[in-house]
Amino acid sequence: MDNTEFKKNSKHDPDAKFADNERLKGQSNFLRGTIEPDLGDQLTGGFTADNFQLIRFHGMYQQDDRDIRPERAKQKLEPLHNVMLRARMPGGIIKPEQWLAIDKFADDKTSYGSIRLTTRQTFQFHGVLKPHIKGMHQMLDGVGIDSIATAGDVNRNVLCTANPVQSELHQEAYEWAKKISEHLLPKTKAYAEIWLDGEKSETTEEPILGSTYLPRKFKTTVTIPPDNEVDIHANDLNFVAIAQDGKLVGFNVLVGGGLAMTHGDVNTYPRRADDFGFIPAEHTLAIAEHVVSVQRDWGNRSNRKNAKTKYTLDNYGVAAFKAEVEKRSGVKFEDSRPFEFTHRGDRIGWVDGIDGKHHLTLFIQSGRILDYPEKTLKTGCRKIAEIHQGDFRMTANQNLIIAGVPADQKDIIEKIAREHGLIDDSHTEQRKNSMACVSFPTCPLAMAEAERYLPTLVEQTESLLAKHDIANDNIILRVVGCPNGCGRAMLAEIGLVGKGPGKYNVYLGGNRQGTRVPKLYLENVSEDVYLAAFDELIGTWAKERLTLENNEHECFGDFVIRTGIVAEVKVSKTDFHA
């Protein structure tokens, strides 16, 4: 669908001026652009013009080391350009032999040497210089991995509940995650042509995504209640598994979640997803395709800050969007089936599956797998991969599951994990329930520290909990360097969102289940201000929280809502900035 056809089918003003991204997508020859000749230009370490954006559709972001940017500028050198690559791994499952391949590449060809597990349930390479980019894609292809459509205005890596306990149901859900990912991929052969020396062929259409692709990024999950570790309300499209007698019968479909916003722009906000209703499993791909096609045609292509599915729903109404999906797919949504989320953190440690196998979830702070002086995490993972007979599962909380371990391998794998710091019994529940995005030094959007600050922030929070005699309790705590949503701070009980160097906006009032958006409490404040506020708030919570029917204590997020410290965000469009 070119721009003329789009304007004819869109609900938007046909005379509206499109954002420049629409031009570059339309002129890209289905994502080819001039990436190939640009790749051969060794006079610069970066990509030029439109290719800076187009490489995102191939799974890469151009970045540079911001720690050394000023010094390079003094020397009249361009920034040290490199790319971050995000792999496409639906459901986060990776085989040991694949792990060994990416481990070796991280050692040999990246500036940082690390494998980073992300909140998108996959891994990222950081610091890949231009001469190594093509070889990186070919290495990945050689072990059955690609990075097609993990960034850009497309459906990105499809998340799936990683909980290995419900093994049979998990396998069914995982298979749907793979099918959805494949069904919604771009059909252009640009990736294979540019990176894998594939045979060149003409692309004439993109039947689902259109020739100018989607108005904005699009995220999809497959979730198995009662676990919500994928944080469904951070995603455009969610398939919540409904089971009978342990077998998958269909999904409740939730549409329109998203967490990104822009500081100072009240027309942007985080938003929960709406439940459209239940569908039998056989209609999954049709519904996925046509939620995407409606967003393709109705989404805002003039203002990218108002282009995500959540705004399309608010601009045109949930009922109208749902009716259009039904019309295009030929599938009527049934009444939603009951489900409940009671848990969203990863189950750290050993868990027994119903298949007689055992599963070890390793806590990886910020998902950064690297050898540190006191804990050689990367070496430990490699040694496990060399003997492991099952698979690895990356989680949406940046942790790693060694899945499918037979009984006779449990002790040796635990021994390796402990020797290399992958199991640390001193980790508190607070540390396990805290998360950060990458931020400095690589992210070009970062306004404040996140990953590098998280260990300090966790220690400070642990100290406050201990001071008020609740050291064994915890708060869902997340810190991000900017308001774009990567670390999902807008579903935390306490969310810090970077505003400037050393300054954050503080949001309170999310809940343990991940079903409520928090609200602004402090704006543009430094550490001394928000830590003093945390001290007072935690102290009051410790004294005045309710004891619930199950003898558990009222969580921090529920407490601040009940006591009126912040108002509950019920309808984001009207409540979030009120």
In the three-class reduction of DSSP (H, G, I as helix; E, B as strand; rest coil), residue 460 is classed as: helix
9 domain-assigned: no
Same domain, 176 and 298: yes
Short-list 445, 500, 1, 507, CA closest to 209: 1
pLDDT for res 5: 44
Q: Quote the DSSP letter at residue 123.
A: E
Catalytic residue among 109, 130, 156, 383: 156
Same domain, 292 and 219: yes
3-state per-residue secondary structure call for 35-89 = HHHHHCCCCCCCCCCCHHHHHHHHCEEEEECCCCHHHHHHCCCCCCEEEEEECEC
CA separation, residue 68 to residues 65, 406, 501 (Å): 6, 47, 16
CATH of the domain at 403: 3.90.480.10
Backbone angles phi, psi at 92, to 5 degrees: 75, 15
Same domain, 231 and 321: yes
3-state per-residue secondary structure call for 204-237 = CCCCCCCCCCCCCCECEEEECCCECCCCHHHCCE
Q: Quote the DSSP letter at residue 401.
A: E
Active site residue 86: yes
Residue at a domain's end among 391, 406, 426: 426
Q: Which residues are known binding-site members?
A: 437, 443, 482, 486
Element (H, E) at 238: strand 237-244
Q: Which residues are known binding-site members for siroheme?
A: 486
Query: What spatial distance separates the first Cα and last Cα of the chain, rounded to whole Å?
Result: 39
Residue at a domain's end among 426, 454, 471: 426
Tell me which amino acid residue 516 is: R
DSSP-derived pairing of the beta strands 115-117 and 368-369: antiparallel
517 domain-assigned: yes
- In angstroms, the CA 170 to CA 567 distance is 37
Tokens found for residue 387: 């003997």
Active site residue 310: no
- In angstroms, the CA 332 to CA 348 distance is 40
pLDDT for res 16: 73
Residue at a domain's end among 383, 406, 426: 426
- In angstroms, the CA 324 to CA 310 distance is 16
354 domain-assigned: yes
Catalytic residue among 56, 381, 432, 486: 486
Tokens found for residue 62: 């151009």
Same domain, 71 and 178: yes
Catalytic residue among 219, 344, 432, 516: 219
Q: Dihedral of CA 337/338/344/350: which sign?
A: negative
Backbone angles phi, psi at 511, to 5 degrees: -125, 175
Task: Identify whether the C-beta of residue 495 lies closer than 8 Å to the C-beta of residue 453.
Answer: no
82 domain-assigned: yes
Element (H, E) at 191: helix 190-195
261 domain-assigned: yes
Tell me which amino acid residue 509 is: G
Active site residue 25: no
DSSP-derived pairing of the beta strands 358-362 and 368-369: unpaired
Strand partners, 455: none
pLDDT for res 406: 94
- In angstroms, the CA 317 to CA 334 distance is 19
Tokens found for residue 118: 């992300």
Kindly give the confidence (pLDDT) of every residue in the chain, 578 residues in length, as a single tens digit, with 9 standing for 90 and above: 344 444 544 555 666 789 999 999 999 999 999 999 999 998 899 998 899 999 999 999 999 999 999 999 999 999 999 999 999 999 999 999 999 999 999 999 999 999 999 999 999 999 999 999 999 999 999 999 999 999 999 999 999 998 656 678 888 999 999 999 999 999 999 999 999 999 999 888 999 999 999 999 999 999 999 999 999 999 999 999 999 988 899 999 999 999 999 999 999 999 999 999 999 999 999 999 999 999 999 999 999 999 999 999 999 999 999 999 999 999 999 999 999 999 998 999 999 887 788 999 999 999 999 999 999 999 999 999 999 999 999 999 999 999 999 999 999 999 999 999 999 999 999 999 999 999 999 999 999 999 999 999 999 999 999 999 999 999 999 999 999 999 999 999 999 999 999 999 999 999 999 999 999 999 999 999 999 999 999 999 999 999 998 888 999 999 999 999 999 999 999 999 99
pLDDT for res 42: 85
Same domain, 421 and 441: no
Catalytic residue among 32, 56, 109, 217: 217
Q: Which residues are known binding-site members for [4Fe-4S] cluster?
A: 437, 443, 482, 486
Active site residue 431: no
- In angstroms, the CA 114 to CA 367 distance is 10
What length is written for the chain? 578
Same domain, 58 and 159: yes
Tokens found for residue 562: 């009940």
342 domain-assigned: no
Catalytic residue among 32, 130, 393, 443: 443
CATH of the domain at 493: 3.30.413.10
Percent of the chain as helix, strand, coil, to the nearest 5: 35, 20, 45
Tell me: cis bond preceding 186? Omega within 30 of 0 counts.
no
Residue with tokens 């720690």, as numbered in its chain: 67
Q: What does the angle CA 410 – CA 415 – CA 417 come to, to the nearest 5 degrees?
A: 95
Same domain, 256 and 378: no
Active site residue 437: yes
CA separation, residue 49 to residues 28, 40, 142, 152 (Å): 12, 15, 30, 16
- In angstroms, the CA 162 to CA 400 distance is 10
Active site residue 76: no
Same domain, 199 and 214: yes
Same domain, 150 and 255: yes
What residue numbers bound the domain in which 406 lies?
Answer: 349-360+369-426
Same domain, 93 and 233: yes
Same domain, 318 and 406: no
Catalytic residue among 437, 478, 545, 555: 437
Tokens found for residue 4: 């003329």
14 domain-assigned: no
Catalytic residue among 25, 86, 512, 545: 86
Active site residue 555: no
Residue with tokens 């056809």, as numbered in its chain: 5
221 domain-assigned: yes
- In angstroms, the CA 224 to CA 243 distance is 9
Catalytic residue among 160, 482, 499, 519: 482
Task: Identify whether the C-beta of residue 460 lies closer than 8 Å to the C-beta of residue 530.
Answer: no
Task: Identify whether the C-beta of residue 348 lies closer than 8 Å to the C-beta of residue 422.
Answer: no
Short-list 461, 450, 458, 510, CA closest to 484: 450
Please report how the helices 318-329 and 309-316 are oriented relative to each other, as an axis angle in degrees rounded to 10: 110
Same domain, 566 and 457: yes
User: How many domains, the chain?
Assistant: 3
Give the largest Cα separation in the chain, rounded.
68
Short-list 484, 517, 497, 493, CA closest to 120: 484
Active site residue 381: no
